[in-house]
Structure 1
Amino acid sequence: MASNFIDYVKIHCMSGNGGAGSVHFRREKMVDKGGPDGGDGGRGGHVILKGNRNLWTLLHLRYQKHIKASNGVRGSGSRSTGAQGQDVIIDVPMGTVVKDAETGELLAEITEDGQEEILYPGGMGGLGNTHFKSSTKQTPQYAQPGLTGKEGWVVCELKVLADVGLVGFPNAGKSTLLSVVSAAKPEIANYAFTTLTPNLGVVSYHDYKSFIMADIPGIIEGASEGKGLGLRFLRHIERNSILLFLVSADSENVLAEYKTLLKELKKYNPELLDKNRILGISKIDTQTDKDLEKIKKKLPQDIPVVFFSSLNLKGINELKDILWNNLA
């Protein structure tokens, strides 16, 4: 599965050129000096991005490096407009951001299924000579050429869209939690970086309600500088409504781990700290009640804190209640 999750591709896109206008004069047996009747050229094809809820990766664009729309057709006589160039529609998952590869300028952002954004518009077709007739110029010998389409290299980045993003160090229990509260089946093992790609799961709540939870690959200290899995997956956290920080109850210093996670997010993007945050203390089944009381005394007071165990399900319903109330 990891090899199929592609969240970054660079592609070259080119919209179509507009068709040239026509220089043409009406010529019929019974019509003397029919005058200019050259039609306009057709518009060049657009390059269009479209959100597709059935896609979850950019894998389909990995080997499609060059995307080109067709050119508009030249106008013809009888004021006939040339056909438009065929648009090219690029289907992408929701959460895709497209930037200019050279300048980094944001060109488009897809957040909804069916949403369409013109990435590169096709060139306009040129006007035929019928538009240039005047009282002093009865037989214009001129028509406009079509405008050239636009081309360039763009970078497509996928930022996973989810209501709740799980943030924590490797082995904090993120994958296990996701497997317990949803039907997702992430790989789980007792070693660092088991999760190499983001995993999404739909969490069922009361009265047929639900929300989406994302298991983001583990963060390590220095991730904002590219260490470990680094910047590659930190960007997925940007799209989550709530950040659920997970720290294992068997950590040597729960508060210090939480502060380290905050520091890495702040270095990457300070705006991430404006999101709603909840602190989850996982793996409480490994601790005695006395140990848990010690942990509680050293926890931050400015955010909701919930203790839970994915093994015996203790505190799971409370966790879901807190998440839902913060989403509502």
Structure 2
Amino acid sequence: MSQGSNFVDYVKICCRSGKGGAGSAHLHRDKLTSKGGPDGGDGGRGGHVIITGNAQLWTLLHLKYRKHVIAGDGDPGGTTLKTGKTGRDEILEVPLGTIAKDAETGEILFEITHDGESRILTEGGRGGLGNWHFKNSVQQTPRFAQSGEPGKEEWNVLELKLLADVGLVGFPNAGKSTLLSVVSAAKPEIADYAFTTLVPNLGIVSYRDSKSFVMADIPGIIEGASKGKGLGIRFLRHIERNSVLLFMVPADTARTIAEEYSILLNELEEYNPELIHKPRVLAITKADMLDDELTEEMKKDIPAGIPYLFISSVAQKNITELKDMLWLAINK
């Protein structure tokens, strides 16, 4: 996945569906018939704006500069009961995990989770009925037909939430990018300062017997993220879509492990209380700096009831065991 500004997870677009074609009010005439009955066809429906899932896409970048999406109008009905041509549909491809919302109300309309899944975002107007529909015993030759429905114009928001099996949760500098670079083929930017990761990175982690799972490095949370501080809310929403949360606390933290873990947990809970019910695993990173005595001492400070491991991405310490633990949590 391309880095930097190529990761776009939010676009606002104006969608205009096509208007329906008018029905025809034609009366049948030919060489032999001077006064035939109604044979006006129906108008074609206006084009829809359709959203389709594409598993090959990771970002909404291709829609970033496309502010207006306009579908085609339906053609009017013809003679001899011919229905007008349907208006051209506009199809927008999006990555899996994209949510469509009404820009005015913020209401969630639908979510795309499967490759090839298609949903109508803005519906085209229906075509008008031709005059033959209005024929009855009293009115044998109706000389009127229905006009087509107008199309709709509305502003919509497309928002991407990454679909990953494991989401890495930790403060900036907890070693998330380093872990991802060691367990997968992803090449995140890594440096020893806060907020190196400004876009979520996805990596495919290969596991035993050619199995694999997806891990997402989500930018570091800082206290107050749930209130929109720092890179806050924008990144917390990516965590919602991960099935397992891997909390990462560095061994050289200034706080105790329990304190740091509880701050991270608190941020998630304030943002969305449902996140607290996801399976959690705790990794104490940079453990190559610890001797056995210090490790034993730190174990006393680990919160109860959470599976944990002391790991070192650089020294490859307990990385295989961590994959086992995560695989178990994903498949519970």
Interval of TM-score (by shorter of Structure 1 and Structure 2): over 0.9
**Match status 1:85 vs 2:87:** yes
Q: Is the 8 A contact 1:250 1:287 kept in 2?
A: no
Instruction: Pick the aligned partner of 1:299 from 276, 297, 302.
Output: 302
Give 1:279's aligned residue. 282
* SS class of match (2:29): coil
* Counterpart residue type for residue 312 of structure 1: A
Q: Distance in 2 between matches of 1:150 and 1:293?
A: 65
**Residue 291 of structure 2 is aligned with which of 281, 288, 293?**
288
TM-score by length of 2: 0.97
**Equivalent position of 1:161 in the other structure:** 163
Equivalents in 2 of 1:100, 1:130: separation in Å?
39
Q: Which residue of 1 aligns with 2:205?
A: 203
Q: Structure 2: which 5+ residue stretches go unaligned?
A: none
1:128: which partner in 2? 130
CA deviation digits over 1:254-306, x for unaligned, max 9? Answer: 11110000111011111111111111111101122111112111111122111
Cα deviation, residue 194, structure 1: 0.7
Alpha-carbon distance between aligned partners in 2 of 1:205 and 1:315, rounded to the nearest angstrom: 14
Identify the residue that residue 183 of structure 1 maps to in structure 2: 185
* Secondary structure, counterpart of 1:64 in structure 2: coil
Q: Look up the match of 1:234.
A: 236
Match of 1:21 among 13, 20, 23: 23
Which amino acid counterpart does residue 297 of structure 2 have in structure 1? K
1:21-40 Cα offsets, whole Å, 9 max, x none, are 00000001112421100000
Could you say what secondary structure the match of 1:113 adopts? coil
How many matched pairs? 328
Name the counterpart of 1:9. 11
Instruction: Report the secondary structure of 2:140's partner residue.
Output: coil
Distance 1:271 1:2 in 2: 30
Match of 1:262 among 265, 274, 280: 265
**C-alpha distance in structure 2 between counterparts of 1:300 and 1:241, whole Å:** 21
- In the alignment, which residue of structure 2 is the partner of 1:173? 175
Moved more, 82-91 or 101-110: 101-110
Q: Does 2:142 align with 1:140? A: yes
Whether contact under 8 Å (1:13, 1:151) holds in the other structure is yes
2:76 corresponds to which letter in structure 1?
R
Q: What code does the residue aligned with 1:231 have?
A: I
Q: 1:117 is matched with which residue?
A: 119
1:99-154 deviation digits (Å, cap 9, x = unpaired): 00110111121111111111111111110000001111011021111112222111
TM-score by length of 1: 0.98
Q: What amino acid sits opposite 1:105 in the alignment?
A: E
Structure 2 residue 317 is matched with structure 1 residue 314:
yes
Letter in 2 for 1:251: T
**Separation (CA, whole Å) in 2 of partners of 1:139 and 1:93:** 53
Per-residue CA deviation, residues 53-105 of structure 1 (Å, 9 max, x unaligned), is 12111111111000010010000110010000011100011111110011011
Which whole-Å CA distance do the structure 2 matches of 1:273 and 1:150 have between them? 40
* Percent of residue pairs identical: 65
C-alpha RMSD of the superposition: 0.9
Letter in 1 for 2:319: I
Q: Give the whole-Å Cα distance in 2 for the aligned partners of 1:300 and 1:141.
A: 81
